[in-house]
Structure 1
């Protein structure tokens, strides 16, 4: 448990959003004012910034408790994050992260699991789990081996004969270092040019899906000012082995599939329908780096629900 608070400044937000090409108005120090009925009264920290803070503190926790050895010996190749966003984090408001003691389950297979909570301004802002497993916990059944050569498909277009929108990104060491620094993760634990250390973190490639969703929405003429969307949860499975092979200038193909909205898929027993996206990060030869689900809802629906209470 890290007892000292983290205090995000606006510069942390600027650095993280620039590093991940996230142009969501909620994080912009000027444009947050243009969002209709924005309740946050200022810019807010990125969800993937908070995820990266969790990733780094979990890394330190695993090392301190010698659990990284357990992970290696048992080939727990997948790192899984299940995150629910309860409130927003504002600049200059202290944030406290709590990591609960590791639970080790052996049925059906070995799993290391920790509950996570984040509090700010006396309120819970985030709840979730971090789990280490031998198979991905999320979207494991999606077969992606029949895809065409993604390099031959134009960026920001639909992959022919599939439900996937394609966003192509190129990994960049400088952007990764900035994102780590903007998320209170020590970049020198990952990168040291003098000894030629260059290890990518797990969450950064996943963070690029936010920009992919924004670009998809932009192409669909979504009005970000009148109809802002907010994240309610992330479910992420990252392949540690493929993360260890990442390097500067690698191509990352992000596939986005938007699910039809339904009354079966709603926010916390309300009648607010979630807008769910299944996203995959593919490397060369269509190797799957990450699988994740992002759930969003219109801000207007949340505010309406709060007013009814």
Structure 2
């Protein structure tokens, strides 16, 4: 077996020394130092600072694990450097051999040119595939760093991202209060796309007001969406939508009747337990009722 070049050994020593220094730095310096550094450089918004602190935490732990892995792999390579160097040389030679192409043309000059072009094209494709892998891997890590403050080790079904806090609370309450095969008739001034998605396999039945079908809602109920109340639905509407639960869910002040905020005791207990506030009165109406004769 050929001996490894001394320059390769020198480069390996430099790499191992550098990795040890970086590992010592990221493990000795407290995470709070990195979080404070990120916090000071974030914008003035609450969410920007929250993301900066969470992303810094994830980045530090990722760096710590990556550095330990790099030291472990580098140590294995160092102790078997001659064998790894020979393996790398054979792999490179084999890769060049399998990507070498020739042409079936009778003309020797043409055969040589076409074969060379095919060889260069195949190797170029391999390089492009390698670059794409690196780019997608780096982008995946970047996205994971950005999403870590919100998701951590949880799935989207647990976190319920990109929806309002009120929608999120209603979804979690309905998951707790209704079985998975429930059919829920909803009267609401809200767009129920996210509720329908995250409450699957439950079925939500909602008669949307025609004036609200193509209206885009704004945050904090800045734009009122016209809606039907339960009493506005005709017997024909109810017959078309067989259901075993009714849900009234209104957020806009014009629909919120203060005297009905405490009607659903299950909802009130859920919110007070969730917010750890025994006197909490939610600012929007949620009233879930089973239909008599369909549920125990």
Tell me the TM-score normalized by structure 1.
Answer: 0.19
The structure whose residues are more often strand, as a share, is 1
TM-score (norm. length: structure 2): 0.20
Q: Which has the higher contact order (CA 8 A, sep 6+)?
A: 1
Flag the structure with larger Rg.
2
Q: Which has the higher helix share?
A: 2
